[in-house]
Amino acid sequence: MALLQIAEPGESTAPHEHRLAVGIDLGTTNSLVATVRSGLAVVLRDQLGRPLLPSVVRYCADGSSEVGYEAQAQQALDPRNTIGSVKRFMGRGIADIANREAMPYVFQDAPGMLRLQTVAGVKSPVEVSADILRALRLRAEAALGGPLVGAVITVPAYFDEAQRQATKDAAKLAGLPVLRLLNEPTAAAIAYGLDNAAEGVYAVYDLGGGTFDISILRLSRGIFEVLATGGDSALGGDDFDHRIFCWIIEAADLKPLSVEDASMLLARAREAKEYLTVHGAAPISARLSSGERVELQLTTAIFAEISQTLVAKTIQPVKKALRDAALSVSDIKGVVMVGGATRMAQVQRAVGEFFRQDPLNNLDPDKVVAIGAATQANLLAGNRAAGDDWLLLDVIPLSLGLETMGGLVEKIIPRNSTIPTARAQEFTTFRDGQTALAIHVVQGERELVSDCRSLARFELRGIPPMVAGSARIRVAFQVDADGLLAVSAREQGSGVEASIVVKPSYGLSDDEIAGMLKDSMAHVKDDAQRRALKESQVDAQRLLEAVRAALAADSELLAAEELARVEKDIVKLESAALADNRRQIMLAMDDLEASTKDFAARRMDKSIRRAFAGRNINELDVDSTASTTGETA
C-alpha cells in the first residue's frame, strides 16, 4: 500500500499549521469535548480536571445561566429551571415525550418543537443545547489557545432529520462551525478500530442516557464501512432510572409527590442504579418534604426484573440491523459496548447471551465517542498526516421517500444506503390538464405518510397541460456525505424544473435562528460584516492551499498556458485576500475555481487510474488471479 500513499488527493503536501478542530459528544446525561494533539486523541478537561460536563443548564431570574456541575448541584432545589436530558426534546413536539408527567418542567407546545418555560423566559431545546455547546467551545478554546475551525458533533445514529437539524442549529447558535454530524456508534467504532487495528465485522451496542443505537460495521484495511444501523431514539439509561423511581413509589406506597420530591427521588433512583454496577444491593434512603421517610433496599435481582422489558427492547433493533446487513450472530467478531448505561450488569448479560460472546469493554464507554469524533474532526479539518489513511463510509439511518396518492409513501432511498447516494424515480400526473405537482418529502419506515416524519414540501409548476398519465416527471434525490438531502423534480418533455435543499419544515425557522443569534450576539457586540469578511478570507486561504497542493502534486496535467492562467489567478486571489474587500475576494475565488475546474477533473481521473494501477501491482505480488484482470487499466 505504500505506493498508493504518495500525495493523496486532498492531502496538503506543503507543510501547514495544525488547524484546531474538536470532537464533541453531546450526550443526554454528560457531554465531552476532545481533540487530537500530537497525533493522539485526548479528552479536554475543565479547570478542576474533570473530563465530563453534565448536560444540565440552569436558568436564573436575572437572565444568567449555569452549565454543568454547577447547574446539576441545584437540580433538586430548582428543578423547574434546571434543564437536564434536553437531548430527549431536540426536534420533538410535546406529544413525542414519554414520561413527561414525571418531569418537573413547564412545557409549552410550539409548532414542530416544544419549548420550556423558565424564570429566564421561554427556552427552546436548541437554545439549551447551545448553552452546553458554548461551554464546551470555551473550554476547548482555552485549552488549545485559539478559535476552532470546526467541530464534529456526534448524534445517535437513529436520530431523524429534525433531531439532526436541531443539533446543527444549536451548534450555529453556540458559534461552532460544524464539520460533520457523526453517528455515535460510528465514532466509537473509529476509536475502537484504530486503537486495536481491528479487522472484520463488529457490532457497536450504544446505550446512552436517552438513546439506543446499534450499528454493524465492517472494518477492512482502514475503511470503516457501516453495513446497517438501527435503534430507538427514546430509550436509554433515563428509562432505567424511571423504572426504579416507579418501583420506589410502589414499594414505599407513596402518595402523589410534589415536583421537588419527585426530582429528589429520581436522583436517588439514579444513584442506586450507579451503585448497583459495583455492588449487589443499593440502599435507598430519602426524606420527603412531608417529613415521611423512605428506606428501601434495591437488589440487582429486583432491578433486573423491573427493567427486563427495557433490556429486551434493545434486542429487537439488534436483530433488525443484522437482517438489514444480511448477517447472522456468528458473523460478528466483536461487540463494542458504548454509553454509560452499558455498565448495568443485566445489559452486559443480555448482550453477551444474544451475541454468544463476552462484550468488549476495554475502552471507557463515556469517552470513546468523543475520541472517535475528535479523530474524524482532525481528518476533516485537513490535518491528515501520512499513515492516517482511514476512511468512513456511512449510511442513512431511515428511508427517504415521497407521498403518493392516498397518503402512501413511495420509498426512494431505502434505509442503510451508503452515502453519498442518488436515486431517481418517474411519476406522472393523475388529472387531465394538470399543470402543477405537489412534492412532499418524508422520512421513515412506515407505509402511511401520517406515520412518517415530514421533511419538506415544494411544487413543480408550469407543466404543459396533457392527458392524465402522459407527463413524465423525474424526481431525483441526492444525499451527500454529510447526509444532507437535495430533491429536484423535472418534467422530461418540457424541461420545467423545481428543487429544494431539505431543511425539516418543523424545526426552527431561519428567522428564529437569526433572532436567537442576534440575542446571543448582543452581549459580545459582534460585527456581522467583519465576520463575513473574515470567513471569506479563511475560504480564500483554504482554496489557495488546495490549489497549491494540487499543483505541487500534478502540475504536469496542465498545459503551459493553462498553468500560467492558474498561477495568475492565484496571485490575484492572494492579493485580494490581503485587502478588506469581501466582494473582490469572492470574485477572485470564482476566477480561480473556473481556471482549475478542468484540472480538478483530470486529477480525479488520474487518481482513479492510479487505484487500478496500485491494485494490479498488489495482485502481481500476492494474487494468482491477476491474469484475469487489468486489461484496460
| Cis check: omega of the bond before 79, within 30 degrees of 0 | no
Which of 143, 526, 610, 626 forms a contact with other proteins (CB under 8 A)? 610
Vertex 170: Cα angle to 178 and 104 (nearest 5): 150
Whose Cβ is closer to other proteins: residue 45's or residue 542's?
Answer: 542
Q: Is 614 in the site for other proteins (CB under 8 A)?
A: yes
Q: Given the C-alpha cell 454529510, which residue does it identify?
A: 482
Whose Cβ is closer to other proteins: residue 436's or residue 608's?
Answer: 608
Residues 201-240 that bind other proteins (CB under 8 A): 220-223, 225
Contact 96, 234 (CB under 8 A): yes
Residue type for position 594: A
- Distance from C-alpha of 229 to C-alpha of 222, rounded to nearest angstrom: 20
Asked about 605 being catalytic, the answer comes back as no
Q: Is 415 in the site for other proteins (CB under 8 A)?
A: no
| DSSP one-letter string for 329-395 | GGG--EEEEESGGGGSHHHHHHHHHHHTSPPB--S-TTTHHHHHHHHHHHHHTT-PPTT---EEE-B
Residues 171-200 that bind other proteins (CB under 8 A): 179
Coil/strand/helix, residue 263: helix
Alpha-carbon separation of residue 10 from 6, 14, 43, 246, 380 (angstroms): 12, 11, 27, 55, 10
Binding mask 570-599 for other proteins (x = CB under 8 A): ----------------------xx--xx--
Which of 279, 323, 431, 568 forms a contact with other proteins (CB under 8 A)? 323
Closest C-alpha among 211, 215, 210, 160 to residue 186? 215
* Count of residues touching other proteins (by CB under 8 A): 62
Q: What is the end-to-end Cα distance of the chain in Å, rounded?
A: 18
Do strands 334-338 and 200-207 pair parallel, antiparallel, or not at all (unpaired)? parallel
Asked about 518 being catalytic, the answer comes back as no
Catalytic residue from among 66, 78, 87, 172: 87
Q: Is 392 in the site for other proteins (CB under 8 A)?
A: yes
Which of 259, 422, 587, 626 forms a contact with other proteins (CB under 8 A)? 422
Which of 51, 177, 352, 630 forms a contact with other proteins (CB under 8 A)? 630
- The answer to whether the Cα torsion of 90, 95, 96, 98 is positive or negative is positive
Vertex 219: Cα angle to 214 and 225 (nearest 5): 65
The stretch near other proteins (CB under 8 A) out of 63-71, 136-144, 374-382, 521-529 is 374-382
Whose Cβ is closer to other proteins: residue 70's or residue 199's?
Answer: 199
Contact 456, 442 (CB under 8 A): no
- Bridge partners of 43, per DSSP, are 34
Which of 44, 373, 547, 588 forms a contact with other proteins (CB under 8 A)? 547
Whose Cβ is closer to other proteins: residue 74's or residue 607's?
Answer: 607
Q: Is 10 in the site for other proteins (CB under 8 A)?
A: yes
- Taking the complex as a whole, the smallest distance from the CB of residue 567 to other proteins amounts, in Å, to 15
Q: Given the C-alpha cell 445489559, which residue does it identify?
A: 347
| DSSP one-letter string for 207-242 | E-SS-EEEEEEEEETTEEEEEEEEEETT-SHHHHHH
- Distance from C-alpha of 189 to C-alpha of 183, rounded to nearest angstrom: 10
Catalytic residue from among 131, 161, 184, 261: 184
Whose Cβ is closer to other proteins: residue 364's or residue 388's?
Answer: 388
The stretch near other proteins (CB under 8 A) out of 76-84, 199-207, 398-406, 418-426 is 418-426
Asked about 534 being catalytic, the answer comes back as no
The stretch near other proteins (CB under 8 A) out of 157-165, 190-198, 525-533, 546-554 is 546-554
Whose Cβ is closer to other proteins: residue 195's or residue 545's?
Answer: 545
Alpha-carbon separation of residue 497 from 435, 467, 484 (angstroms): 12, 20, 20
Give the distance between the most distant pair of CA atoms in the chain: 89
Asked about 184 being catalytic, the answer comes back as yes
- Taking the complex as a whole, the smallest distance from the CB of residue 231 to other proteins amounts, in Å, to 15
- Taking the complex as a whole, the smallest distance from the CB of residue 420 to other proteins amounts, in Å, to 5
Phi, psi angles (nearest 5°) of residue 41: -80, 125
Which of 335, 381, 409, 456 forms a contact with other proteins (CB under 8 A)? 381
Give the count of beta carbons closer than 10 Å to the beta carbon of residue 513.
18
Contact 238, 336 (CB under 8 A): no
Q: Is 607 in the site for other proteins (CB under 8 A)?
A: yes
Catalytic residue from among 160, 161, 169, 206: 206
Q: Is 386 in the site for other proteins (CB under 8 A)?
A: no
- Bridge partners of 33, per DSSP, are 24
Q: Is 419 in the site for other proteins (CB under 8 A)?
A: yes
Q: Is 100 in the site for other proteins (CB under 8 A)?
A: no
Phi, psi angles (nearest 5°) of residue 198: -75, 145
Q: Is 468 in the site for other proteins (CB under 8 A)?
A: no
- Distance from C-alpha of 215 to C-alpha of 322, rounded to nearest angstrom: 9
The stretch near other proteins (CB under 8 A) out of 23-31, 37-45, 152-160, 412-420 is 412-420
Q: Kindly state the cell numbers that stand for 223.
A: 475503511
Which of 421, 434, 520, 537 forms a contact with other proteins (CB under 8 A)? 421
Q: Is 110 in the site for other proteins (CB under 8 A)?
A: no
Q: Is 612 in the site for other proteins (CB under 8 A)?
A: yes
Whose Cβ is closer to other proteins: residue 267's or residue 577's?
Answer: 577
- Taking the complex as a whole, the smallest distance from the CB of residue 548 to other proteins amounts, in Å, to 11
Contact 211, 338 (CB under 8 A): no
Which of 3, 436, 564, 601 forms a contact with other proteins (CB under 8 A)? 601
Residues that bind other proteins (CB under 8 A): 8-12, 179, 220-223, 225, 316, 319-320, 323, 379-382, 389, 391-393, 417-422, 478, 480-481, 542-543, 545-547, 550, 592-593, 596-597, 600-601, 603-605, 607-612, 614-615, 625, 628-633
- Name the residues annotated as catalytic: 25, 87, 184, 206
